[in-house]
Amino acid sequence: MSNLGTIATDRRTLLAGGAAAALFTPGLALAASGDLPAIRKAAEAGYAASVKRIQDWIALPSIAAENLDMEKGADYMAALAKDAGFQHVEKVATEGAPGVFATLDVGAKRWMGIYFMYDVKQYDPAEWSSPPLEARIVDKPGFGKVIVGRGAVNQKGPQAAFLAGLHAIHAAGKTSPVNLVLICEGEEEIGSPHFRQIVTKPHILAALKKCEGVIIPAGWQSPSDGGVTVNLGAKGIVELELVASGAKWGRGPKTDIHSSEKARVDSPAWRLVQALTTLVTPDGNNPAIDNYFEKVRPLTPREKELIALAGKQLSEADAKKALGVEHFIDDLPWEKTLERLASQPTVNIEGLVSGYTGPGGKTVLPGRAVAKMDLRLVPNMTAEDSVAKLRAHLDKRGFADIEVNVSGGYDPTETDENSRLIKAELATYKRNKVPTTIYPRLAGSWPGAVFTSAPVSLPAGQFGLGHGSGAHAPNEYYVIESSNPKVQGLVGSTMSYVDFLYEIAAAK
């Protein structure tokens, strides 16, 4: 549902108050081009349309985990690309959900790759302050006007801001300073199991090979100082389920039975719990899978140096507040927590499901138990090897009956800080006086490894100004009209992508 009636669209209102201090300052390339005034004016004039673009996109959720509206999501993504001026747009079939491939060729000297995802995480409307698909615009104290909805920051808001940049360039009568290759998928939230099928199609691979690198739009400015972190990589991930069942085990019930039978019947739920306890140390904080650390590459001296610098630039109090925690593991010093975040592979339980989970009690002995898991991987681990180690670990301990059902995953990613991509990001941030921290790798995951590894072999990372939070959680939001002088709103975010493209075009 659109709420454009609540948005002030005249320029004076948009730039009033704290937001005025956060006005976008262009990089040298954009300023020197002479294109800035016209593009900025077009971005401001297109504000209401940009907001509606985000709201309409949120209203159509594609949820890979539920196989919900995947074809519709791809078609919608293709329509958005065409509307933004991409000349060649195609839906790309895979063995799973379709992707989208698009190119914008303006005859420029350089090409830039852009990664989008059109899928979002699941949601429970009962947990939200407003319906998660209505994309309501609300006043958020300390932030300004925000859009609240599933996918608002992960990733539809930042992606729509990038598209708004292309609309502004076109509306201003200008052309993009670089050619663009857009690669979209609909299965990121389940570990991108078929994304490599898209990227390695010969004509798509050939297009990517021309690019300077690949970015995923992001809205991660810190509300305390407006700072951003430039990650030189990301952890890999494996998403999977461990399933214990009476049917596979040959013991316990094949379906739920009365709990009084526990006096004489084995429990698949307890068997799963016993298996899970072997995967980590007793405190649950360190993986204990046999040989799990065999290929882990220690932090390099440069990575340790970057982490030490990050420890001085980033706020421990802000991090704890954002996470809603009072302690880190073992009450470690701040810098040590940053080292663990960058260097430690993990074994995490996302959810445990067995038997009856509704109101009150129901005296059953479940015939099946499921643990939803994710493994985070660091260089030089691989998804394939990590799953093999998990399987061997369980088998060695007599848990051969426990199923390991992998839904998706990919390897860690790394990008050289001296690449043209990273230098362009840093230059754009610096000229906007945005505090910047360089960090070895994002503790979260995105399928950048598909780009950084062979056969594509390109630099890849995140970029963007603006702010949002609540990814995967209730009340996810994206700031569109900032009251915080440190954080860009939607127009500033839009202009940051324009500036970045000009920076890539001019970078040496």
Dihedral sign, CA of 9, 489, 496, 415?
negative
pLDDT at res. 9: 31
Summary mean pLDDT of the chain: 93
307: closest CA among 344, 345, 329, 334? 334
Kindly tell me if the per-residue pLDDT of 213 is higher than 60: yes
Which amino acid makes up residue 438?
I
205 is written with which tokens?
Answer: 């691979």
Spell out the residues 6+ positions from residue 495 whose beta carbon is closer than 8 angstroms to its own. Answer: 24, 26, 39, 40, 43, 165, 168
* Residue 233 DSSP SS3: strand
- Reported as a single tens digit per residue, the pLDDT across 166-205 is 999 999 999 999 999 999 999 999 999 999 999 999 999 9
Kindly tell me if the per-residue pLDDT of 21 is higher than 50: no
Kindly tell me if the per-residue pLDDT of 2 is higher than 60: no
Instruction: Write b or e for each residue in 59-89: b if 16 or more Cβ atoms lie within 10 A of its Cβ, otherwise e.
Output: bbbbbbeeeebbeebbbbbbebbeebbbeeb
Cα separation, 475 vs 149, whole angstroms: 6
pLDDT at res. 102: 98
236 is written with which tokens?
Answer: 């890999």
> DSSP letter string over 42-58?
HHHHTHHHHHHHHHHHH
Cα separation, 501 vs 495, whole angstroms: 10
Which sequence spans correspond to the domains of the chain?
Answer: 16-233+413-506, 236-296+345-410
Question: Token match 């947990």: residue?
Answer: 127
Work out the average pLDDT over 301-319.
93
* Helix/strand/coil (H/E/C) assignment for every residue in 85-121: CCCEEEEECCCCCCEEEEEECCCCCCEEEEEEECCCC
pLDDT at res. 10: 34
Work out the average pLDDT over 40-63.
97
Beta bridge partners of 230: 438
Provide, rounded to the nearest whole percent, the portion of the chain with pLDDT above 70. 94
pLDDT at res. 33: 73
Give the right CATH number for 16-233+413-506 from 1.10.340.30, 3.40.50.300, 3.20.20.70, 3.40.630.10: 3.40.630.10
Work out the average pLDDT over 252-260.
97
Look at the domain 236-296+345-410 and name its fold: Alpha-Beta Plaits (3.30.70)
pLDDT at res. 24: 53
Task: Write down the pTM of the prediction.
Answer: 0.88
C-alpha to C-alpha distances, 137 to 121, 244, 335, 488, 504, nearest whole angstrom: 20, 44, 38, 17, 34
29 is written with which tokens?
Answer: 């390339």
**Phi–psi pair at 389, nearest 5 degrees:** -65, -40
Work out the average pLDDT over 412-435.
93
Work out the average pLDDT over 220-237.
93
